[in-house]
Amino acid sequence: MMNIKRQRGIGLVEIMVSMMIALFLLLGIGTIFMTTRSTYGDQQGLSNLQDNERLAMFMLTNVIQIGGYFPDPTTSTAALSLPVAAPYVVAGQAVSGTEGGAAPDKVRVRFMTASGDGIANCNGGANTSGTNVVYSNEFDISGNTLRCAVNGNNPQPLVTGVTDMQVLYGADTTSSGSITQYLTKTQIDTNVNGSSWNNVRSVRITLSFVNPLAAQAGQPATLPFTKIIPVMNKL
């Protein structure tokens, strides 16, 4: 007598077990995907933050360190090249500013350029006028954007994601040839310890940037970045 083997299909329990395993696998894959996506987004945000920090400080440094420059020191002086002209209250004054209080500070820098010398102002313009030109560059913050205006013209946006700017001025208050104090604009104006704007040898800039990780627990809304920039004609 022949043995007849019964053919058996997949039972309901086996189908349910297979579906549960598949769901767990899909859940794991989805979790890995979301984690990878979040990590990539965080890395991109931090990379953009670092780029903005470098760019903002590069632009500020490039202008501030030229402060007080004039073309030919053998035939002229800083006082003659950069005379008193509001908001610069002292002949030869290279930097000025506005103390914002609760609002961001402003910083102003001026220098004289000769035609064709290639020295650029904060908006990238250069002197091709055929004569010497004084550029006054005013940096401010508006709408979370670092901006700069040249000679009172409309400010141009430079770097986004910047919420605040605080400025201190490194002054030689004892005529020692070295910086002795970092002072606010108001303190410089009131000649603390006999200092004046022509005693300013450097500018301490602190910019606050939007934190791309601010939505995460324990993260601050903004991140500060500080740099001390020397003023060229006071080195």
Tell me the C-alpha distance between 152 and 139, whole Å. Answer: 11
143 near 164, Cβ under 8 Å? no
Q: What is this structure's pTM?
A: 0.81
Q: State residue 27's pLDDT score.
A: 79
Low-confidence stretches of the chain (pLDDT < 70) are 1-11, 33, 37-42, 192-195, 233-235
Q: State residue 28's pLDDT score.
A: 74
**Amino acid identity at 134:** V
Looking up tokens 């903005």, which residue turns up?
52
Q: State residue 24's pLDDT score.
A: 76
For the chain, the structural domain boundaries read 44-234
Q: State residue 234's pLDDT score.
A: 66
